[in-house]
Structure 1
Amino acid sequence: MSHSTWRAKNPIVSFRHAVEGIAHAFRTQRNMRFHTIAFSLVFLAGLILRLPRVEMLALVFCAALVLITEMFNTAIEATVDMITQSYHPAAKFIKDIAAGAVLISAITAVLVGAVVFWGAVRPETLSLRLIQPPTVPVFMGAFVLLLLLVLVGKIAGRKGSLLQGGVISGHSAIAFYLAGVIVFLVPQPAVALLALGLAALVAQSRVEAKIHTLREVVAGAVIALALAALVLKVPQWLGAHLPSPWFPHPK
């Protein structure tokens, strides 16, 4: 293979190669899957608890650091295995150092998360923060989380590509997430039915085009509506029902 074949011809090809690398790491590395799932749950908890933007950014930065070091560790292990398949003390030393970097980043992420969430559940501020209406960063954060869940499902399902096909319909998920936002925030049945109807038409178009099956568009719809409910309605319900004395009802 010539050297030129290893070069990306344009930025789009380079981006595709990068995405393929992330997908390969997720499919083949158990720790990568664990870190991704853990980050998704932590990010969801942050949205539900209405964490301030600075604290959410701290969580995202720590999660990204863990994922980056895990991918470097995977690349280093693959490089060492490509060079030698037999045991060598130097090879073990290299792999141990790479694994140690992942461990340090993971411990750092846990410590930062513990500090952030410990401060977030203080009784004097939690209930008041939860009953506040959701802001634009909450909507956008939930939307980004939805895209992450859809991509993870597509990668894990090993069907179609990241942009088309797959075990979860991204178009259906996005349409029903937007519909869910309208349903939960606009107290008008006619508007809610119209939003859900338009989302259903989007899902139907994916089935008729034979890009997705009925099960795949339903999966996207269920994930999107569940996420919208968790982020938009559950916090207000918790803020209104958390018991005293730790979480007094707002007057």
Structure 2
Amino acid sequence: MPHAAEPQGAIIITGAAGGMGRPAAIRFAKRGQPLILCDISAERLDALAAELAGSGAPVVTLAGDLSAPDFPARLLALVGDQEIAAVVHTAGLSPTMADGDRVLEVNYFATERLVDALAPRMAEGGCAVLISSSSGYMIPAPEMIAAVKAMVDGGGREAVAAFLQSPQTAYPISKLGVMKLVAKESVRFGQRGARIVSIAPGFIDTEMSRAEAQASEMMRAMMQRVPLQRMGLGDEIASVAEFLCSPAASYISGCDIKVDGGSLGEMGL
């Protein structure tokens, strides 16, 4: 049956101090439910927690590297005996931030471990929202797409090892992996009456995107072709995450939502 009310429990936001995580934290704080904010920067987390102190939502923070083996256990320790009402997972690396192996580790394998740890704790009616990327639709070679599917189906890093020499290639591979993980995990989430969805942002005005644009002439050219003639805002991603975690989206699961100002359509994708 559809859920008429928001599920109760903890709300987890990763990358909470970043360009998409911060507006998500502000939006979800209005629900008044316990917030667990995660980010690699303790200083920025503390500043955000102070900002949300008057929101009425209990806030705890977890500073650390998402890809650390003990990160899921540390997070579950903060969840305690609560169920999890919502997850908004925005943490990740862009191509200019690391080599191909590291990009894949953080963006895909750390995400896979996080989802595996949180799935058994999801509340009925709860939802996990992962951030993919419009770049996941731009992989040109069928053999690369097949390799990503093999990775998600249990083949691990070895399935895509031939394509990791460049972070510019590893990044879309990692994000297509997120999309395929969402489709796969929708079965397990559905058994709990919970949902899992991904959002594919296009060109969003964040610190990370600005650094990428500065480093890539191709990206700057693609930004000029956005049909809506502007970059998106972090809050425009957060608002979609808020909707997806609401009862209004109670039959949306196992899929990817494009939020790209029409860019993929303009490319014929």
TM range (shorter): under 0.3
Larger Rg: 1 or 2?
Answer: 1
TM-score (norm 2): 0.25
TM-score (norm 1): 0.26
